Amino acid sequence: MTTADETPFDSAEPRHNPLRVLFLDLNSYFASVEQQLEPSLRGKPVAVAPVMADGGCCVAASYEAKAFGVRTGTRVGEAKRLCPGIHIVKTRHRAYVEMHHKIIEAVETCLPVEEVLSIDEMACRLARDERDPAKAVELAHRVKRAIASRVGECLRCSIGLAPNRVLGKLATDMQKPDGLVVIESGELPGRLVHLKLQDFPGIGPRMVQRLRAFAIDTVEDLYARNEEQLERAWGSVLGRYWHRWLRGQETVHRTSRTRSVGHQHVLPPEARNPEAAWGICVRLLHKAAARMRHLGYYAQRLTLVVACGRRRPSTWGPRSEEAESRAWTGAASLEGGKQDTLTLASELRALWEKRPPGDPTFVGVTLHDLLPAASVTLPLFKEEQQRERLSRLIDELDASHGPLTVYTGAMHEARKSAAGGIAFRSVPDLDLPDSVA
């Protein structure tokens, strides 16, 4: 699927590519979590290792340790030699995952996370009115402040603002720690020519060898080739995608996967009853629907996840049969695409009625298979048109008078909860050290 400004694959014309992506990369993530949790480690060289023996590998190093040459992959014994007095700390997966979810919650007070790419990396999509560089930079500062105030000041991040994810990721690598780099399409290739090929995400040593065989040794060489030449060099259609990414375009390949907007929430003890949980579901739907309208989309599918287990359902880490068996998902298809909160709320209510009995501990609401407005048949019926107008009016009131100026009755109690919401997404397997390599 593609939208008007997401560069359909058939367009070869150079065009203006706005800032569409806010890419966020936490700096020295595991070491920073340790410094956040243990104040005595702050400002000191710290390395995190799954095995404390000298032969074990460090999976993260604080900036103070990096200054001594300690890196991810450095042996513990070597780290001690390079940096006498270094604090070696044993990895604590649970703490990193918990903090990861708090960070997503903090980011989502500013804008929704579109996709979590690893435990310390995420991509967010900028709405149309957030794409002006000055506004995007302001938003990025807000994200940084939200993480510092809601999670902890040790959790610093580098943010890249760019027309696509590849350039966004590259931008986060250009300034660390606490970076904020904007790459606009009009600055290409100038902003990148000083880089080495292996600085690009996804171009490893073997790919560098391969490109060399095609006489591509520098970034300038890369820009000098056309799509066909890059396809040959890559040996796959990926080369064509690179041609477009380097120019700030997006490809169908990149954008077709993650067209959903959703929120989830672990219920506080006082909300672990059907009435309160339903109110929170409506609140989550309201947020997701408003964001979807803001992005200009219509949903073709709605899902509700309800868990009554002790843990939230997880798609990462050690699987808990018990927790998973208690998570229930209901799905409703929305013929032709729906956008207004009232229609979506009645679909959500129908799903809610089908849930298994029990006191919910966790709820999630997600709008899927989003269609751009241009490809949706506009509602024919008067009532449907009125509902859409009402939803837009609510959005406008929210924008001018603050969130939740207008809300439905069921949300009244839930208004104060789920302020941030939690993204319902997966985090890769946390078996270390493979996932950090």
> Where does this chain bind Mg ion (CB under 5 A)?
25-26, 120
Give the CA distances from residue 207 to residues 168, 211, 215, 216, 231, in Å, rounded to whole numbers and listed in that order.
21, 6, 12, 11, 13
Q: State how far the alpha carbon of 263 is from the alpha carbons of 251, 320, 324, in Å.
A: 26, 22, 18
Q: In the bound complex, what is the minimum distance in angstroms from residue 71's beta carbon to Mg ion?
A: 13
Minimal CB distance residue for Mg ion: 120
Q: Which of 121, 227, 324, 384 is catalytic?
A: 121
Q: Least distance from C-beta 60 to Mg ion, angstroms?
A: 9
CB of 190 to Mg ion, least distance (A): 26
Ordered alpha helix ranges (H), 83-218: 93-107, 133-150, 165-173, 205-213
Place of tokens 């129908």: 350
415: amino acid identity, one letter? R
Pull the structure tokens for residue 176.
């660390």
- If the CB atoms of residues 49 and 222 are measured against Mg ion, the closer one turns out to be 49
Nearer to Mg ion, 120 or 388 (CB): 120
Residue 299: CB minimum distance to Mg ion, A: 32
Other C-beta atoms lying within 10 Å of the C-beta of residue 408: 15
CB of 169 to Mg ion, least distance (A): 10
Nearest distance from residue 51's CB to Mg ion, in Å?
A: 22
> In angstroms, how far is the first alpha carbon of the chain from the final one?
32
Is 121 part of the annotated catalytic residue set? yes
d(CA 209, CA 221): 14
d(CA 283, CA 341): 10
- Pick the closest to residue 16 from 223, 184, 251 (CA basis): 184
For Mg ion, the closer CB: 96 or 424: 96
Helix (H, G, I), strand (E, B) or coil at 157: strand
For residue 214, the minimal CB distance to Mg ion (Å) is 31
Element spanning 25, H or E: strand 21-26
Return the number of the residue (28 or 300) whose C-beta is nearest Mg ion: 28
How far is the C-alpha of 343 from the C-alpha of 407, rounded, in Å? 14
Helix ranges (H only) for 151-204 are 165-173
Task: Pick the closer one to Mg ion by CB: 120 or 130.
Answer: 120
Phi first, then psi, for residue 146 (nearest 5°) are -65, -40
- DSSP structure string for 249-286: ---HHHHSS---EEEEEEPPGGG-SHHHHHHHHHHHHH
What is the nearest approach in angstroms of Mg ion to the Cβ of residue 379? 45
Q: Name the residue nearer to Mg ion (CB basis): 26 or 233.
A: 26
* Cβ atoms 19, 150 nearer than 8 A: no
Positive or negative torsion for Cα 147, 148, 151, 152: positive
Identify whether 433 is preceded by a cis peptide bond (ω within 30 of 0): yes
Cα(92)–Cα(98) distance, integer angstroms: 10
Q: Is 60 or 288 the residue whose CB approaches Mg ion more closely?
A: 60
Q: Is 86 or 103 the residue whose CB approaches Mg ion more closely?
A: 103
Strand bridging mode 261-266 / 362-368: antiparallel
The catalytic residue positions are 121
